[in-house]
Amino acid sequence: MLETLLPILIFTALALAVIGAVRRIRLWRQGRPSRVNLLKGLVALPRRYLVDLHHVVGRDKMISNTHVATAGGFVAAAALMILVHGLGIANPLLGGLLLLASASMFVGSLFVARRRINPPARLSKGPWMRLPKSLMAFSIGVFLITLPTVGLLPDGLIEGSGSWLLALVLAGVVAWGLGEMFFGMTWGGPMKHAFAGALHLAFHRRAERFSTKKGGAGRSTGLKALNLEDEAAPLGVEKPADFTWNQLLGFDACVQCGRCEAVCPAFAAGQPLNPKKLIQDMVVGMAGGSDAAYAGSPYPGKPIGEHAGTPHGPIVALEGKALVDADTLWSCTTCRACVEECPMMIEHVDAIVDMRRYLTLERGKTPNKGAEVLDNLIATDNPGGFDPGSRLNWAADLNLPLMSDLKQVDVLLWLGDGAFDMRNQRTLRALVKVLRAAEVDFAVLGTEERDSGDVARRLGDEATFQALAKRNIATLSKYRFLQIVTCDPHSFHVLGNEYGELGGHYDVRHHSTFIAELYDAGRLTFSPWKGGSVTYHDPCYLGRYNGEFEAPRNVLKALGIEVKEMERSGFRSRCCGGGGGAPITDIPGERRIPDMRMNDVKESGAELVAVGCPQCTAMLEGVVDASAEVRDIAELVADALVERPTDEASGGSRRPAATTTAEEVIV
């Protein structure tokens, strides 16, 4: 009886899966076009899955091994089952492999089940709680029906006259497994992540994120430019169908593991954002419906079941509620912690900025100080509304060389808007002292410099960003320089990663990188560190955005400081709360993000926290009753500087003297 029933079951499930897949693909294709090389993507898929994705999943060894056993077992078992039971190729070798695969899957599913006993808050419940049982049903079912095939069980046991009940039960178990694994995969069950996830990897909007055989695994963190020349092109995302099709596909790939939720600073601060819920809301919007079925943590302070949307309805309502509330979108600090953690490589920040663009450019609804800051950027080229002519006032006594006088230098020192901030002016003065000590040939743009456009862009005002960027690019094109050095990671990121699309290509370095290079070249000498214990706070826009984790630590090491790392450091560093215009939109929460970060510092036991970003300095120094001092790396370096011995040999002790001379020849 099973021999006739099984092929029917398998092929029915497969046919239903195909129908579901077509329906799902049609949901994705509601999105806007996006140019992706489909074939190349599919060819790259195995590598992207096995190498790049696994690199992220592998950060949690337990779940990584569980997934290998379960998913590997399932893929093998499914393929073999179609051969053995579907097409009736009762080869004992295939049968044996099938037993092995389903056994592996069963072992994996035991671990999946164990994870579901008292699951952490970040995991979604609901249908995900039944998944381990479904996995077991599939693996046990397949295992048992395969036993007779390899002759481990007498045929008669199942085929016997009195065993039709057993056969029926077995068929039921297999049907359950098939239902979840094949049917559920394309009809929106938990297994959807496998189907959508694989295609998402293949057709990812940022192919540069993945490694190739030649290496790479580059970061791709710059926001994509809007086409402002074409007046018909939509400005940002109003409704789910305004996302590109592969963004929609990406949302569908979410496994609701909640790693993003666990690292999101806004969520931890009790602001109404949860990256996982946001992605699920986009899935709800894409398919149409309400969020009532969502079984994970809500946006803090926003009950589940009150929001609903359709593919062609607005995401943020003009009045009342739609799919998502605006304050959810404005809570994001664009720290990219969620993107960095996401095992499905989903791009949360892109989606948030896309939706912000619509709110700002079409609705004119940038909250709180947003409108004022944008007006200032338009009228005065800086967010504070200061007189652009006073950009260099802090350096009145420093006699800084100007690009407009020199025309050609090695290093263009980009000041950033910190030039108007009295705290950051101390950092800038320290940096100038360091550059002079190392006899670097540098100059500043002075009053020709404008805001890089970082804040405007992240507040969704692409028009102001592009206006600022184009004028900055025009200014920079007048001069010749080898590289740009800045103490502002936001300027660093925008100049280095986002101006390229608008025609400005520069070699940009963060001051910590540059100082590390100067030290390695023997151009700086430091007195030994006498202060207390020090920890280092990785700025998001330096670390996660640009992968620079080592240079600041190397500089601190050169200063003789042994860094006491915080629990969350490096690529897992917690945001200071200052990015993405978050201090401007200022969405209320239960706690402040910088308070939490200074608490991290306190837990590390450090008396001083070294930073490398004006935003981080401002945010962390704004913490009341902090246990640690906040110093920029440039300040620490400037304080430790000792007069370089005139003797060339001792100066070049870290490097052959000849190279040092060559270095100076370039100057």
Partner 1 sequence: MRPDLQQKQQGIDVAVLVSIGRHPTTGRARRAEQDARGLELALSMGAELPGTQISVLHAGSQDADSEAALRGYLGMGLESMTLLEQPEGSDAISTLADHLAATSPQLVITGARAERGEGSGLLPYALAEQLGWPLVNGLAAVETVENGVVTLLQALPRGQRRRLKVRLPAIISVDEAGPVARQSAFGPARRATFEVTATTPVADTELAQWHVAPARKRPKRLKIVKAASARDRFKAAASKAEGKGGQILTDVTPEQGAEAIYKLLKEEDVLR
- Which residues of the chain form contacts with partner 1 (CB under 8 A)? 231, 235, 360-366, 370-371, 374-375, 378-380, 385-388, 461-463
Residue number, 237 or 515, with CB nearest to partner 1: 237
Residue number, 461 or 498, with CB nearest to partner 1: 461
Torsion over CA of 170, 173, 179 and 184, rounded to 10 degrees?
Answer: -150
CA distances from 229 to 32, 233, 238, 462 (A): 18, 8, 19, 12
Least distance between partner 1 and beta carbon 490 (Å):
22
Least distance between partner 1 and beta carbon 391 (Å):
12
Residue number, 365 or 592, with CB nearest to partner 1: 365
For 642-667, give the secondary structure using H, E and C: CCCCCCHHHHCCCCCHHHHHHHHHHC
Residue number, 175 or 235, with CB nearest to partner 1: 235
Beta-bridge partner residues of 412: 443, 484
CA distance 118 to 360: 42
Least distance between partner 1 and beta carbon 554 (Å):
42
Across the beta sheet with 534-536, the strand order is 534-536, 608-611, 629-632
Residue number, 152 or 379, with CB nearest to partner 1: 379
Least distance between partner 1 and beta carbon 471 (Å):
13
Residue number, 291 or 461, with CB nearest to partner 1: 461
Strand 215-216 to strand 211-212: parallel, antiparallel, or no bridges (unpaired)? Answer: antiparallel
CA distance 585 to 366: 7
CA distance 167 to 169: 5
Least distance between partner 1 and beta carbon 446 (Å):
16
Residue number, 2 or 359, with CB nearest to partner 1: 359
Give 44-109 as a DSSP string: HHHHIIIIIIHHHHTTSHHHHHHHIIIIIHHHHHHHHHIIIIIS----HHHHHHHHHHHHHHHHHH
Residue number, 386 or 549, with CB nearest to partner 1: 386
What is the biggest distance separating any 2 CA atoms in the chain, rounded to whole angstroms? 101
Residue number, 364 or 645, with CB nearest to partner 1: 364
Least distance between partner 1 and beta carbon 569 (Å):
38
Residue number, 347 or 461, with CB nearest to partner 1: 461
- Amino acid at position 154, single letter: P
60 CB-contact burial (10 Å; exposed 0-12 / middle 13-18 / buried 19+): middle
Residue number, 374 or 484, with CB nearest to partner 1: 374
Q: Two tokens at 35?
A: 């140019």
CA distance 55 to 74: 21
3-state helix, strand, coil in the chain (%, to 5): 55, 5, 40
Measured distance between the N- and C-terminal CA atoms of the chain, rounded to whole angstroms: 86
506 CB-contact burial (10 Å; exposed 0-12 / middle 13-18 / buried 19+): middle
- Amino acid at position 100, single letter: L
CA distance 510 to 492: 6
Least distance between partner 1 and beta carbon 361 (Å):
4
Least distance between partner 1 and beta carbon 325 (Å):
18
Least distance between partner 1 and beta carbon 372 (Å):
9
Residue number, 340 or 454, with CB nearest to partner 1: 454
CB 613 within 8 A of CB 489: yes
Least distance between partner 1 and beta carbon 369 (Å):
11
Q: Two tokens at 166?
A: 């057993």
- Helix H segments across 162-223? 164-178, 184-186, 192-202
CB 567 within 8 A of CB 601: no
Least distance between partner 1 and beta carbon 591 (Å):
29
CB 421 within 8 A of CB 411: no
Residue number, 127 or 388, with CB nearest to partner 1: 388
Least distance between partner 1 and beta carbon 618 (Å):
23
Residue number, 244 or 366, with CB nearest to partner 1: 366
Least distance between partner 1 and beta carbon 223 (Å):
16
Least distance between partner 1 and beta carbon 230 (Å):
11
CB 247 within 8 A of CB 350: yes
Which residue, chain included where needed, has tokens 């060559």? 662
CB 253 within 8 A of CB 200: yes
